[in-house]
Amino acid sequence: MSTPRVAVVTGGNRGIGREICRQLADLGLHVVLTARDEARAKEAARELVAEGRGFVVGARLDVRDAESVRAAFASIARSHGSVDVLVNNAGVAIDGSGHRPSAPDFSRVEKTLDTNLYGAWRCAAAAVPFMLDRGYGRIVNLSTTMASLELTTTSESPAYRVSKVSLNMLTRVLAAEVEGTGILVNAVSPGYTRTDMSPKATRPVAAGADTAVWLATLPADGPTGGFFYERAPLAW
């Protein structure tokens, strides 16, 4: 029997991230469910194990805190032997329809970029050396259809859109850097999914998590540098 892959999911304590942990564990991966609050990470992991979901452990990882990111990846690699999969799920959406790009609230813009872009970037940079060592890696960035340049016609949520369109570019440049090493890097739109972030949505988290889980478990000849929704390419 082959050794299970080790998957690290950020923001795994609730919403789509928690469901991604659930589905990855169901597929037999060893899941490290991370959250910025260690107690909430461990509690969520315990609940998934109690549901019979296989191997899930909780760990602290605040994507805005570089030292927390460094320590988390070093500890995970030490305890679990590798980091094979990274799902950059943690995110905030704190500027909605009332926010206009011509009147920026830069405290919100900075927090949004620090979480959604730099947070994912810090985690990817921490994970890639472990993946290169093993010649295997899957990095999945949780983006959004709201980051599609082609599909955007509104001024709403400027910081959120800017953060995620930048995350899309990070996906492309990182995929180009590691091409041929066994590491595949892709972005996904989960769709408008019912969570604390989108309480009015009707799409269940199981559907929102599905494409991220597919990208996290791609075969060696799978796509890289792509942007997907419902397991199909989405317009950049």
Binding site for ligand NAP (CB under 6 A): 10-11, 13-17, 35-37, 62-64, 89-93, 115, 119, 142, 144, 189-190, 192-193, 195-198, 201
The two tokens of residue 211 are: 């494409």
Which is nearer to ligand NAP, 55 or 160 (by Cβ)? Answer: 160
User: What's the closest the beta carbon of residue 181 comes to ligand NAP, in angstroms?
Assistant: 26
* Residue 227 · residue 234 · CB < 8 Å: yes
User: What's the closest the beta carbon of residue 165 comes to ligand NAP, in angstroms?
Assistant: 12
User: What's the closest the beta carbon of residue 214 comes to ligand NAP, in angstroms?
Assistant: 15
Which is nearer to ligand NAP, 37 or 110 (by Cβ)? Answer: 37
The two tokens of residue 72 are: 């988390």
Give the Cα separation of 11 and 90 in Å (integer). 4
Which is nearer to ligand NAP, 192 or 236 (by Cβ)? Answer: 192
The two tokens of residue 86 are: 């990274």
54 phi/psi in degrees, rounded to 5: 95, -145
Which is nearer to ligand NAP, 102 or 202 (by Cβ)? Answer: 202
- The single residue of 118, 160, 192, 229 carrying the catalytic annotation is 160
Known catalytic residue at 160: yes
Give the Cα separation of 3 and 209 in Å (integer). 24
Q: How far is CA 105 from CA 91, 147, 154, in A?
A: 18, 19, 18
User: What's the closest the beta carbon of residue 46 comes to ligand NAP, in angstroms?
Assistant: 16
* Residue 233 · residue 186 · CB < 8 Å: no
Q: Which residues are catalytic?
A: 160
